[in-house]
Amino acid sequence: MWYVQVARREYRRQTVSRLLGGPRKGCVALALTIVGLGFFRDWWFKLACDSQPEWPFLFDNYFLWLGYLCILIGSILVFSSYWALGFYGTFLGDYFGILMDNKVTHFPFNLIDNPMYWGSTIIFGGTALVKASLSGLLLTCLVAVCYKIAILFEGPFTTEIYNKSNKMV
């Protein structure tokens, strides 16, 4: 994902922090960009689901209720992750030098690694089921692949940051 590359560059050069007057302001700017582009992505996802024909196979009420359940579970994972990490923990504050004191190990992190990414993916899948959208299900698979790639880059680098700082080792 693009924001991981931006955050890595910030970690190495502190360009955004210097331009905006500090790491917290830089992190807020990155967060606003991520959230704004996330709304844009969600709008395009909705547009793709709504503009394509519904898939008759998914008209069964079972898929409708499964979709709503996925949206609920995904939302719980996303919001509880945000609650556990806080603003700076959620929006790559560690890349700006804003480190957490301890590794978060309680819910939802005790159930699944990267619950915000996977929760978001589950929400996309649930939305596709509710809308009976084959294109939405295919886009959900694309989202999952993109998030998996981001995790492969983000996880080890975050570990490296904390190992260098001697926190949460």
Annotated ligand binding at 10? The verdict is no
At residue 52, φ and ψ (nearest 5 deg) are -100, 155
Tell me which amino acid residue 139 is. Answer: L
Annotated ligand binding at 22? The verdict is no
Say if residue 44 is exposed, middle or buried (CB neighbours under 10 Å; 0-12, 13-18, 19+). Answer: exposed
Q: What angle do CA 6, 21, 83 make, to 5 degrees?
A: 60
Annotated ligand binding at 72? The verdict is yes
Annotated ligand binding at 38? The verdict is no
Say if residue 169 is exposed, middle or buried (CB neighbours under 10 Å; 0-12, 13-18, 19+). Answer: exposed
CA–centroid distance for 165 within its chain: 25
Annotated ligand binding at 21? The verdict is no
* Torsion sign (Cα): 36, 1, 110, 103: negative
**Bind-site residues for S-adenosyl-L-methionine:** 72-74, 154-155
**Bind-site residues:** 72-74, 154-155
